[in-house]
Structure 1
Amino acid sequence: MPEMTFEVRWPDGSTQRCYSPSLVVHDYLATGGRYRVDDFVDRVGRAMAEASERVRARFGFACTSAAATKEGITHAAAAYPSDALIEITAMHPQLEQS
């Protein structure tokens, strides 16, 4: 199953590298995209739930790394106002443009 990482720049300028067991994050976020903190947390929650279900469908168990990513982002986001903006600075691997 292809995995990926994505990097977030928080409102204070700090960055966080995040892991996903699936490329599904590309369906929810885009490199260079700017999102309100509350929207970002929601998008990541949905993406990690879908990624974990893909792992479950393939291997028979949920992905604890997806849950850890969601938890880490939720914890970090609590330090910022819900309407503050974050930016996705990188996604690896990128999807090929067709």
Structure 2
Amino acid sequence: MPEMRFVIAWPDGREETCYSPSLVIRDFLEEGQTYPIRDFLDRSRKALTIASDRVEAKYGYPCTLARSQLARIEEAGARFISDADAKVRCESFIP
């Protein structure tokens, strides 16, 4: 499966490089686009769940890297969830 990394910028300006085991992340995030924190978390959850499910369909087990990446995103995002103006920017995709 083609994997991909994507760089995001959190509301505090900190950048993070994230992992997806599938290109499906491109169906949910767009380079240069900014998302309200709740929307970003929802999109990430959907994309990384689909990606993990695709790995499971192909190899018989879910992708632990996708699951751990989602857990890291949700943990980091929880710090900003109470700020209605918090936004996350998808900086770039790294094939």
Q: TM-score range by the shorter chain?
A: over 0.9
The CA deviation string for residues 54-93 of structure 1, in whole angstroms up to 9 with x for no partner, is: 0011101000001011100000011112541110111112
Which one-letter code corresponds to 1:29 in the other structure?
Answer: L
Which one-letter code corresponds to 1:84 in the other structure?
Answer: A
Match of 1:64 in 2: 64
CA 1:14 to 1:56, structure 2 compared with 1: closer, same or farther past 3 Å? same
Structure 1: unaligned runs, 5 residues or longer: 94-98
The CA deviation string for residues 14-62 of structure 1, in whole angstroms up to 9 with x for no partner, is: 0111000000000000100100010000000000110001001110100
For residues 54 and 64 of structure 2, what CA distance do their matches in structure 1 show?
Answer: 12
The alignment's TM-score, normalised by the length of structure 2, stands at 0.94
Moved more, 34-43 or 79-88: 79-88
Aligned residues: 93
Match of 1:50 in 2: 50
For residues 62 and 83 of structure 1, what CA distance do their matches in structure 2 show?
Answer: 34
> What does 1:9-88 align with in structure 2 at a 5 Å threshold?
9-80=9-80, 81-88=83-90
Structure 2: unaligned runs, 5 residues or longer: none
Q: Name the % identity.
A: 43
Moved more, 79-88 or 54-63: 79-88
For residues 84 and 59 of structure 2, what CA distance do their matches in structure 1 show?
Answer: 36
Give SS of 1:62's match: coil
CA RMSD for the aligned pairs? 0.9
The alignment's TM-score, normalised by the length of structure 1, stands at 0.91
